[in-house]
C-alpha cells in the first residue's frame, strides 16, 4: 500500500471534488481518494501496482488537469486566471456592453452592424476566454454530473445563443443579451483570479516549512552535495549560521541550535557530541559535524508537513454535511431555472424576461462559497498551527477540541521536566551555602540522580578524598580534611531535633529530604524535587480562562502530588495511578458526560491518550505517545496546549460563520433571481462576492497569536 499526491487544476466547487474522487476510486487498486478543494490536492491510497500515470489519466478523463508535486514542495494547485486574458476579456466585455446598452453608439451598414459586432466580441469572451467552463461542463456531462462549470456554461451560452437567434431571425421583442453572457464570464474570471490569489496565501504556512530545507550539505571532505543525495550515516559539516541539512546526531563540536522554525521552541538548545539535532534548524555559533539519522520523507520536518497535509485532507463532520448539500445543489439549480422559465411563460410574461430570470437562477446558485467554507478554514487554521508548533492529525479533531470541558495532565515529564533539582537548603544552626558546597563536592563523585542534582547546584566543587558510596543510604567523603556525610538519617550518629523536624516536614510534602553534616552530625537538609516546567502554571491559568477544568494524574505519593497541584493551581489531583489507572480515570470522567483532553509525553501515557476524546502529546516525549495522540505539541511549552484549544475554537467559529453566510447567500439569492429582482449580471457579482467573503474570512486565522 502506498499513498500518492496529485495537484489538480480546474476545480470550481465541491461537486468537482466528488467527481474527481469517484474517478480516482474507479481505478483498479485504489483503496481511497481524498481531494481538498481549497488546496487543489488529491491524496490517493492505492496498491503498489497502481501506476502514477493511471491516476493522472483518471483525473484528466474527468475533465481536469493533474500533475505530481516534486520532492518536499508543498505548492497548491490553485487555479489563477492569467491577467492579460482577464484584461482582454474585460475590454471586449465593456465594448459589448456599450454597443448594446448605449443607443448613440449603434451604427447600421445596411444591416445591424453594431449588434453583429457585439455578437462576435461576446462570442470571443463567452467561448474563448470562458472556454474552460464549456470544456469542463461537456466532460462532466459524459460523467452524468454537474458542477459550477455547468451553471456558468449553460447560463452564458444560452444568453449568447438566444441573442443570436433573436438577432438573425428578428423574433420576439428584439432584446439582446450579448452583454449578459460576456460580463458574467468577465466577473467569474475576475472572481476566480482574486479568489485564487487569496487561496494561495492560505498555503503560506506549509510553503514556509518547505523552504526551510537546506538545498545543499557540505561533507567532511569539503564537498558540497545536494541534500537529496544524503543517506543515513552520511556525515556533514554545519558552519555557524547555516541550516542543518537533515536530522542527525552531533559527532563533533558544540553549539546552540535554534529550532524555533520547526517546533516553535523559542530558546536555542545547547548541543554537543551525542545530541540529536533536527533538519532545517539553524546552527547559531559553533561548527558541528553531524551524522545523518533521517533523510527525505523520514525527517521530522517532512513528517510535520505530511501530518498537516493529511489533516487538511480529512473532512470534518460539518464539511461532510456541506458536501452532501452541495452534491444536490447544482442539479436542483438547473431544475429551479427550468421551472422559473416555464412559470414566467405560463404567467404570460415576455420570453425575454422569463429567459433573464432563468439565467439569473443558474448563475446565482453556484455553490462555490459553500464548497470553500470548511476546507479553506481548516487549511489556514492547521497551517497556522504548524507555525506555532501545533500539529493536528485531522479536521475532526478541531470539532472535538472545541467541545472540550476538561483537561487532564500527566505529571512526570509533562508538567515537570523529569529531572531532579535542589529546591532549597535549610540549616537551622549553620551556613546553608557552605553545607551545600560540601555536599555537592561529595556528590560530584556519585552516579545517583539525586546526587547529580545536588552536584549541579554548585558551579565549582572541591576535591574529595576517601570517597565511599553507601547504596541506599548516601555517600561519605573528605573535603578540606573534614569528613562530610550526605544521605539518609541512618548515615549519621546524631540528628538534632531542628534538622529532624525540617526533614519530616519536607517528606510530608512528598519531596526528597537529604541530610548533610560533618563528623557524623546532621547540620542541614537539602530539598530535592522534580522541577515544574516554567510554562506549567501559566498554561493551567490559560486553560481556566477558556472555561476548562483541570485534573492532574500521577503515580506519585499523595502529598507530593497535591503539593504540585496546589502550586500549579490545578482543580483536582488524583495520585497513585498507573498507566491503566489513568485511562480508567479518564473513562470515569467521560461517563459523567465530560469531554476530556489528556496531555502526556511518555510511553505509559499512551493508553490514556487513546482513551481521551482528544489526546495531546508533548512532542519532546516518546514516539509512542505522539502516535497515540490526536494533537502533537512540538515544543515543551505547555502554554501551547491552551493555544491549540483556542485555535481550534477560532477555526470552528470561522467555519460556522462561512457556512452561515454561504447558506444565507444561496437561500436568499435564488428566490430573488427566480422572481426577476436579481439581474444575471448582479447575480454573477453576488456569487463572486460570496466566495471572496469566505476566502478573506478564513485568511483572518493567519493572524492568530499565541496566548
- Residues with a catalytic annotation lie at 410
CA 394 and chain centroid, separation? 9
Query: CA–CA separation, 645 vs 631, rounded Å?
Result: 10
Task: Tell me whether strands 276-277 and 41-46 are parallel, antiparallel or unpaired.
Answer: unpaired
Asked whether 410 and 326 are in contact (CB, 8 A), the reply is no
Query: CA–CA separation, 204 vs 375, rounded Å?
Result: 15
Length of the chain: 707
Q: Quick one: which of 97, 4, 122, 1 has its CA closest to 52?
A: 4
Asked whether 38 and 199 are in contact (CB, 8 A), the reply is yes
Spell out where 25-166 has E strands.
Answer: 30-36, 41-46, 65-67
Half-sphere exposure of 29 (CA within 13 A, CB side): 14
DSSP per-residue string spanning 614-649:
EEEEETTS-HHHHHH-SEEESSS-THHHHHHHHHHH
Query: CA–CA separation, 60 vs 64, rounded Å?
Result: 5
Give the 3-state secondary structure of 399-462. HHHHCCCEEEEEHHHHHEEEEEEEEEEECCCCCHHHHHHHHHHHHCCCCCHHHHHHHHCCCCCC
What residues contact 625, with CB distance under 8 A and at least 6 apart? 600, 601, 602, 603, 605, 606, 609, 617, 618
Q: Where are the alpha helices (DSSP H) in 174-316?
A: 178-202, 204-210, 260-263, 300-313
Query: CA–CA separation, 359 vs 353, rounded Å?
Result: 10
Find cell 549560521 and name the residue: 241
Query: CA–CA separation, 19 vs 12, rounded Å?
Result: 12
Asked whether 29 and 50 are in contact (CB, 8 A), the reply is yes
Q: How far apart are the first and last CA of the chain?
A: 41
Asked whether 570 and 548 are in contact (CB, 8 A), the reply is no
Coil, helix or strand at residue 683: helix
Query: CA–CA separation, 21 vs 18, rounded Å?
Result: 5
Coil, helix or strand at residue 679: coil
Asked whether 356 and 676 are in contact (CB, 8 A), the reply is yes
Q: Quick one: which of 85, 106, 83, 84 has its CA closest to 95?
A: 106
Half-sphere exposure of 204 (CA within 13 A, CB side): 12
Coil, helix or strand at residue 139: helix
Helix 317-346 and helix 148-169, axial crossing angle in degrees, nearest 10? 20
Query: CA–CA separation, 13 vs 40, rounded Å?
Result: 11
Q: Quick one: which of 214, 208, 238, 235 has its CA closest to 226?
A: 214
> How are the residues of the chain apportioned to helix, strand and coil, as percentages rounded to the nearest 5?
55, 20, 30
Amino acid at each position: 500500500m502506498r499513498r500518492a499526491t496529485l495537484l489538480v487544476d480546474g476545480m470550481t466547487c465541491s461537486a468537482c471534488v466528488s467527481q474527481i474522487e469517484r474517478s480516482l476510486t474507479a481505478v483498479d487498486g485504489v483503496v481511497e481518494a481524498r481531494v481538498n478543494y481549497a488546496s487543489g490536492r488529491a491524496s490517493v491510497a492505492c496498491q503498489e501496482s497502481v501506476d502514477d500515470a493511471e491516476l493522472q489519466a483518471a483525473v484528466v478523463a474527468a475533465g481536469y488537469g493533474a500533475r505530481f508535486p516534486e520532492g518536499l514542495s508543498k505548492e497548491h494547485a490553485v487555479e489563477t486566471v492569467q491577467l492579460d486574458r482577464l484584461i482582454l476579456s474585460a475590454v471586449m466585455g465593456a465594448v459589448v456592453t456599450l454597443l448594446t446598452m448605449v443607443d448613440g453608439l449603434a451604427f447600421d451598414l445596411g444591416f445591424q452592424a453594431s449588434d453583429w459586432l457585439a455578437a462576435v466580441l461576446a462570442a470571443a469572451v463567452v467561448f474563448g476566454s470562458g472556454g474552460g467552463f464549456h470544456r469542463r461542463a461537456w466532460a462532466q456531462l459524459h460523467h452524468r454530473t454537474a458542477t459550477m462549470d455547468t451553471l456558468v456554461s449553460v447560463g452564458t451560452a444560452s444568453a449568447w445563443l438566444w441573442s443570436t437567434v433573436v438577432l438573425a431571425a428578428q423574433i420576439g421583442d428584439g432584446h439582446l443579451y450579448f452583454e449578459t453572457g460576456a460580463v458574467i464570464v468577465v466577473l467569474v474570471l475576475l472572481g476566480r483570479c482574486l479568489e485564487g490569489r487569496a487561496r494561495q496565501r492560505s498555503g503560506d504556512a506549509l510553503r514556509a516549512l518547505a523552504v526551510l530545507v537546506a538545498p545543499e550539505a557540505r561533507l567532511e571532505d569539503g564537498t558540497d552535495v545536494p541534500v537529496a543525495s544524503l543517506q543515513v550515516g552520511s556525515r556533514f559539516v554545519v558552519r555557524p549560521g547555516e541550516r542543518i541539512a537533515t536530522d542527525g546526531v552531533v559527532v563533533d563540536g558544540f553549539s546552540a541550535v535554534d529550532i524555533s522554525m520547526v517546533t516553535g521552541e523559542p530558546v536555542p538548545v545547547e548541543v554537543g557530541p551525542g545530541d540529536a539535532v533536527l533538519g532545517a534548524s539553524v546552527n547559531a555559533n559553533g561548527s558541528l559535524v553531524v551524522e545523518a539519522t533521517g533523510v527525505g520523507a523520514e525527517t521530522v520536518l517532512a513528517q510535520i508537513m505530511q501530518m498537516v497535509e493529511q489533516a487538511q485532507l480529512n473532512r470534518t463532520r460539518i464539511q461532510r454535511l456541506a458536501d452532501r448539500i452541495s452534491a444536490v445543489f447544482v442539479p436542483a439549480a438547473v431544475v429551479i431555472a427550468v421551472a422559473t422559465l416555464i412559470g414566467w411563460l405560463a404567467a404570460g410574461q415576455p420570453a425575454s424576461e422569463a429567459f433573464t430570470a432563468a439565467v439569473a437562477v443558474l448563475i446565482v446558485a453556484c455553490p462555490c462559497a459553500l464548497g470553500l467554507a470548511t476546507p479553506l478554514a481548516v487549511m489556514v487554521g492547521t497551517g497556522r498551527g504548524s507555525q506555532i508548533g501545533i500539529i493536528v492529525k485531522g479536521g475532526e479533531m478541531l470539532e472535538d477540541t472545541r467541545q472540550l470541558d476538561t483537561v487532564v495532565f500527566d505529571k512526570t515529564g509533562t508538567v515537570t521536566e523529569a529531572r531532579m533539582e535542589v529546591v532549597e537548603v535549610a540549616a537551622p544552626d549553620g551556613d546553608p551555602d557552605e553545607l551545600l558546597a560540601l555536599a555537592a563536592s561529595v556528590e560530584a563523585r556519585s552516579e545517583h540522580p539525586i546526587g547529580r542534582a545536588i552536584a549541579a547546584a554548585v558551579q565549582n566543587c572541591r576535591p574529595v578524598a576517601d570517597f565511599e558510596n553507601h547504596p541506599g543510604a548516601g555517600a561519605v567523603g573528605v573535603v578540606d580534611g573534614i569528613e562530610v556525610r550526605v544521605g539518609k538519617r541512618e548515615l549519621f550518629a546524631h540528628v538534632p531535633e531542628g534538622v529532624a523536624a525540617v526533614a519530616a516536614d519536607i517528606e510530608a510534602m512528598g519531596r526528597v529530604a537529604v541530610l548533610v553534616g560533618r563528623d557524623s552530625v546532621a547540620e542541614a537538609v537539602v530539598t530535592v524535587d522534580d522541577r515544574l516546567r516554567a510554562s506549567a502554571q501559566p498554561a493551567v491559568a490559560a486553560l481556566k480562562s477558556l472555561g476548562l477544568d483541570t485534573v492532574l494524574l500521577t503515580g506519585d505519593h499523595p502529598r507530593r502530588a497535591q503539593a504540585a497541584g496546589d502550586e500549579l493551581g490545578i482543580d483536582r489531583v488524583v495520585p497513585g495511578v498507573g498507566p491503566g489507572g489513568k485511562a480508567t480515570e479518564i473513562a470515569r470522567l467521560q461517563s459523567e458526560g465530560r469531554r476530556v483532553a489528556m496531555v502526556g509525553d511518555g510511553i505509559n501515557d499512551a493508553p490514556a491518550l487513546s482513551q481521551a476524546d482528544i489526546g495531546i502529546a508533548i512532542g519532546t516525549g516518546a514516539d509512542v505517545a505522539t502516535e497515540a495522540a490526536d494533537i502533537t505539541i512540538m515544543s515543551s511549552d505547555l502554554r501551547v496546549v491552551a493555544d491549540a484549544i483556542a485555535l481550534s475554537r477560532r477555526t470552528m467559529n470561522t467555519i460556522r460563520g462561512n457556512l452561515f453566510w454561504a447558506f444565507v447567500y444561496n437561500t436568499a439569492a435564488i428566490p430573488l433571481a427566480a422572481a426577476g429582482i436579481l439581474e444575471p449580471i448582479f447575480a454573477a457579482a453576488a456569487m463572486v462576492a460570496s466566495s471572496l467573503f469566505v476566502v478573506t474570512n478564513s485568511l483572518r486565522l493567519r493572524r492568530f497569536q499565541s496566548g
